[in-house]
C-alpha cells in the first residue's frame, strides 16, 4: 500500500527519487502549473523552455523526465501534462488534477519515493491530487513474480510507488488534513475492490468473497450476516439459488450493515456479485467470457461503499447486499425453460441463463425492500447493451424517480465518474411476458439495458425510491491504462456512491 504525507518542505531538500511538476498546454507552448514555482526558479525560470525543447506540450497524460537542477537531493524531475490551461481566474479542475497525479504515480511504479509539486491551493485540490495519486499507484501483482523467479535474480513485477509526499499541502491545516484522510480511506477501499475484481475466479468464489466481507466488517464496526445455500433455500431465494445451482461453489447473500446512532436516513445498496459469468447453459462464446471474473464488480462497489461510510463515520445508515453466485453450465445448472420461484413469490421463466444478473439482484432487491430504506441503489455489470449504448467509460443510470436519477448523475460528474441518465420505457415490459410464468428473464433485444432495468423495477417494494447503475462498460478496463485508471478492475461507481452517502448524511437529498 502506498503511503501519503503532506509537507510544506522545499522540493530541493527532500530525499526522494523524483519531484513531479505539472505543466499545462498554453497557446504558446507549455506553461508551468502553480506548485512548481521553486522548481522553475532552480531552472532560472526557464523550465517551460527546457520542457518545450524536449518536446513537451502539457497535453493530458503526457510525461517528460529530465535531470533535477543542481542542489536538489532528488535526481529526477518528472513533468506531467494537465491539459489545457484553465480560463482566467479559474483553477485546474479536480478531474484534471486527479488524472495528472494518477498518471505520474502510475508511470513511477518501480520507484520508491516521489514528491508531487502540483497545484494544491485549496483542500479540494489536495483531495483530488491525493485521490488520483493513490488510485494511479495501484497495481495488481498478487499472481506475479513467484519465489522461484526471484531466486533466479528476476526481481518480479514492478511494485507501486511506496511513498508519496504532497508538497504545498499543509499537514497542520485541518481542511487539508481532512481532505487527505478522506482520500486515503476512500482509495484504500477502491483499491481493495479492484483487487477483488482482478482476483481470478478460481480463487474468488462466493464463499471467499463473503469471507473477505466478513473480515473487513469486523475490522470496521460493520455488522455482517451471511446466508449460505442452506439459509437461502430455507428463505426461498429462488433467483440466487437458481443462478448458483450449476456451480460447485455455492451462492451467498451477504448483508453488511453500517449504522450511525444519529442517522436520519438509510440507504440500501445492492450489488451484482457473479464471481464468474460463463453464461451457464446459454454459454457465452469464446471472446466473451475471458473477462467475466469482473461480473462481481457491482458487489465489490457496494462492499467498498459500506466500509468507506464506516471509516468516514458518515451520519447515515448504509446497508449493503451482496448477491454472490457463480454462473456455470453443468448437469445441475438451471436450463433455458426452467421456472424459478423468486424470493418475492413471483415466478420467472429463465429463457436465457446468461441473463443471470437480474435474477440474483431481484431477490436481493426484494429483501432490501422489506426494511423500507429511504432509497435502494443497485449496481451491476448487467448488460452488453449498455456498453453498446454508452461505450466503455460511462455507466447508465435508470430510476423510478427522475429527480433521484438527476441527482445521481450530478453527483457522478462531481466526483469525476462519467454516467448518463437512461429511460425505463414501459412499452418494453410486455416483451418479457411469459406463457408459463409471471415474467420471463429476457425481452426485446433492442434496448436490452433498459429491458433489464424494467425487470429489476418489478421487484422494488411499493413506494421505494430506486435507482439502477449499469456499470458493464466502465467496471473493467481492457485498454491501455490512462490517468488513474489501471488495466482490469476500476472500482467504478464507488466514488459516486460514497458521495451519495455523504450528501444523504448532510440532508442534501430529499
Residues near Zn ion (CB under 5 A) are 274, 277, 295, 357
| Smaller CB separation from Mn ion, 326 or 356 | 356
Report, in this order, helix, strand and coil percent for the chain, each rounded to 5: 35, 20, 40
| Smaller CB separation from Mn ion, 127 or 277 | 277
Of 58-66, 82-90, 108-116, 380-388, the window that binds ligand BES (rule: CB under 6 A) is: 380-388
Of 196-204, 272-280, 372-380, 489-497, the window that binds Mn ion (rule: CB under 5 A) is: 272-280
| Smaller CB separation from Mn ion, 26 or 336 | 336
What three-state secondary structure class fits 276? strand
Residues facing 266 on adjacent strands? 317
- Rounded to a whole number of angstroms, the minimum distance from the CB of residue 164 to ligand BES is 32
Is residue 28 annotated as part of the catalytic site, yes or no? no
Chosen from Zn ion, Mn ion, ligand BES, none, partner binding at 384 (C-beta under 5 to 8 Å by type): ligand BES
Alpha helices in 295-415 (DSSP H): 297-312, 357-369, 384-390, 402-414
Is residue 284 annotated as part of the catalytic site, yes or no? yes
Using CB under 6 A as the criterion, what x/- string covers residues 139-178 for binding ligand BES? Answer: ----------------------------------------
Of 44-52, 159-167, 236-244, 375-383, the window that binds ligand BES (rule: CB under 6 A) is: 375-383
Tell whether residue 277 is a contact of Mn ion (CB under 5 A).
yes
- Rounded to a whole number of angstroms, the minimum distance from the CB of residue 361 to ligand BES is 10
Is residue 483 within 8 Å of residue 418, measured between CB atoms?
Answer: no
Angstrom distances, CA of residue 28 to CA of 52, 85, 93, 108, 157: 10, 11, 21, 29, 40
Contact pick of 95, 125, 229, 295 for ligand BES (by CB under 6 A)? 295
CA atoms lying within 13 Å on the CB side of residue 476: 24
Q: Which helix (H) or strand (E) element contains residue 184?
A: helix 174-198
Q: What are phi and psi of 505, to 5 degrees?
A: -60, -40
Query: By CB under 6 A, how many residues form the interface with ligand BES?
Result: 15
| Smaller CB separation from Zn ion, 250 or 357 | 357
Given 73, 158, 177, 284, the catalytic residue: 284
Q: What angle do CA 109, 111, 112 make, to 5 degrees?
A: 120
Closest residue to Mn ion in the complex (CB): 354
Q: What angle do CA 466, 446, 428 make, to 5 degrees?
A: 50
Q: Which residues of 423-441 are buried (b: 16+ CB within 10 A; e: fewer)?
A: ebeeebbeebebeebbbbb
* Alpha carbon 160 to chain centroid, angstroms: 19
Contact pick of 60, 62, 127, 354 for Mn ion (by CB under 5 A)? 354
| Smaller CB separation from ligand BES, 176 or 358 | 358
Using CB under 6 A as the criterion, what x/- string covers residues 89-128 for binding ligand BES? Answer: ----------------------------------------
Measured distance CA(393)–CA(479) in Å, rounded: 11
Measured distance CA(153)–CA(191) in Å, rounded: 29
* Alpha carbon 190 to chain centroid, angstroms: 6
Binding to ligand BES (CB under 6 A): which residues in 453-492? Answer: 472
Closest to 393 in 3D by CA, of 312, 310, 482, 308: 482
Using CB under 5 A as the criterion, what x/- string covers residues 446-485 for binding Mn ion? Answer: ----------------------------------------
Q: What are phi and psi of 17, to 5 degrees?
A: -85, -25
Tell whether residue 280 is a contact of ligand BES (CB under 6 A).
no
Contact pick of 283, 352, 421, 423 for ligand BES (by CB under 6 A)? 352
Of 129-137, 158-166, 207-215, 383-391, the window that binds ligand BES (rule: CB under 6 A) is: 383-391
Helices 206-219 and 297-312, axial angle in degrees (round to 10): 10
Is residue 223 within 8 Å of residue 166, measured between CB atoms?
Answer: no
Measured distance CA(458)–CA(342) in Å, rounded: 12
Tell whether residue 421 is a contact of ligand BES (CB under 6 A).
no
| Smaller CB separation from Zn ion, 259 or 291 | 291
Using CB under 6 A as the criterion, what x/- string covers residues 219-258 for binding ligand BES? Answer: ----------------------------------------
Contact pick of 103, 266, 381, 419 for ligand BES (by CB under 6 A)? 381
- Nearest 10 degrees: Cα torsion 67, 72, 77, 81: -140
Contact pick of 11, 213, 385, 411 for ligand BES (by CB under 6 A)? 385
Tell whether residue 277 is a contact of ligand BES (CB under 6 A).
yes
Chosen from Mn ion, Zn ion, ligand BES, none, partner binding at 492 (C-beta under 5 to 8 Å by type): none
DSSP 68-80: PPTT-SSSEEEEE
What three-state secondary structure class fits 422? coil
The DSSP code for 506 is T
Tell whether residue 448 is a contact of ligand BES (CB under 6 A).
yes
Binding residues vs ligand BES (CB under 6 A): 277, 295, 352, 354-357, 381-385, 442, 448, 472
Binding residues vs Mn ion (CB under 5 A): 277, 354, 356
**Catalytic residue IDs:** 284, 358
Amino acid at each position: 500500500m502506498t503511503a501519503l504525507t503532506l509537507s510544506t518542505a522545499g522540493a530541493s531538500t527532500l530525499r526522494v527519487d523524483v519531484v513531479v511538476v505539472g505543466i499545462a498546454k498554453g497557446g504558446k507552448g507549455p506553461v508551468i502549473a502553480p506548485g512548481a514555482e521553486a522548481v522553475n526558479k532552480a531552472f532560472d525560470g526557464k523550465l517551460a523552455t527546457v520542457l518545450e525543447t524536449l518536446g513537451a506540450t502539457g497535453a493530458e497524460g503526457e510525461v517528460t523526465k529530465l535531470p533535477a537542477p543542481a542542489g536538489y537531493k532528488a535526481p529526477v524531475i518528472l513533468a506531467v501534462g494537465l491539459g489545457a490551461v484553465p480560463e482566467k481566474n479559474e483553477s485546474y479542475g479536480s478531474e484534471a488534477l486527479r488524472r495528472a497525479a494518477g498518471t505520474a504515480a502510475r508511470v513511477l511504479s518501480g520507484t520508491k519515493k516521489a514528491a508531487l509539486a502540483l497545484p494544491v491551493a485549496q483542500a479540494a485540490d489536495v483531495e483530488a491530487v491525493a485521490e488520483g495519486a493513490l488510485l494511479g499507484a495501484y497495481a495488481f501483482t498478487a499472481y506475479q513474480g513467484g519465489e522461484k523467479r526471484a531466486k533466479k535474480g528476476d526481481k518480479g513485477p514492478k511494485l507501486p510507488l511506496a511513498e508519496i509526499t504532497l508538497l504545498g499541502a499543509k499537514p497542520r491545516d485541518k481542511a487539508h488534513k481532512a481532505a487527505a484522510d478522506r482520500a486515503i480511506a476512500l482509495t484504500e477501499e477502491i483499491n481493495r475492490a479492484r483487487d477483488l475484481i482482478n482476483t481470478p475466479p478460481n480463487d474468488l468464489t462466493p464463499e471467499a468473497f463473503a469471507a473477505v466481507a466478513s473480515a473487513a466488517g469486523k475490522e470496521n464496526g460493520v455488522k455482517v450476516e451471511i446466508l449460505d445455500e442452506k439459509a437461502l433455500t430455507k428463505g426461498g431465494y429462488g433467483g440466487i439459488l437458481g443462478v448458483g445451482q450449476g456451480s460447485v461453489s455455492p451462492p451467498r447473500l451477504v448483508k453488511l450493515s453500517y449504522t450511525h446512532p444519529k442517522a436520519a436516513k438509510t440507504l440500501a445498496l445492492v450489488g451484482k456479485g457473479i464471481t464468474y459469468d460463463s453464461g451457464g447453459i446459454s454459454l457465452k462464446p469464446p471472446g466473451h467470457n475471458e473477462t467475466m471474473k469482473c461480473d462481481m464488480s457491482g458487489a465489490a462497489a457496494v462492499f467498498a461503499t459500506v466500509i468507506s461510510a464506516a471509516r468516514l463515520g458518515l451520519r447515515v445508515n448504509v446497508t449493503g447486499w451482496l448477491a454472490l453466485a457463480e454462473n456455470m453450465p453443468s448437469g445441475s445448472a438451471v436450463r433455458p425453460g426452467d421456472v424459478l420461484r423468486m424470493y418475492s413469490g413471483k415466478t420467472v421463466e429463465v429463457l436465457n441463463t446468461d441473463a443471470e444478473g437480474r435474477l440474483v439482484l431481484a431477490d436481493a432487491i426484494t429483501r432490501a425492500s422489506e426494511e423500507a430504506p429511504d432509497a435502494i441503489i443497485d449496481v451491476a455489470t448487467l448488460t452488453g447493451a449498455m456498453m453498446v449504448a454508452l461505450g466503455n467509460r460511462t455507466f447508465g443510470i435508470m430510476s423510478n424517480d427522475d429527480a433521484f436519477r438527476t441527482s445521481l448523475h450530478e453527483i457522478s460528474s462531481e466526483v469525476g465518474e462519467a454516467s448518463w441518465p437512461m429511460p425505463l420505457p414501459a412499452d418494453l415490459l410486455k416483451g418479457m411476458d411469459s406463457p408459463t410464468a409471471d415474467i420471463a428473464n429476457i425481452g426485446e433485444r433492442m434496448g436490452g439495458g433498459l429491458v433489464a432495468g424494467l425487470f429489476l423495477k418489478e421487484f422494488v417494494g411499493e413506494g421505494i425510491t430506486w435507482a439502477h447503475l449499469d456499470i458493464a462498460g466502465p467496471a473493467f478496463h481492457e485498454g491501455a491504462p490512462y490517468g488513474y485508471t489501471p488495466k482490469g478492475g476500476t472500482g467504478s461507481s464507488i466514488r459516486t456512491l460514497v458521495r451519495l452517502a455523504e450528501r444523504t448524511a448532510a440532508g442534501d437529498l430529499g
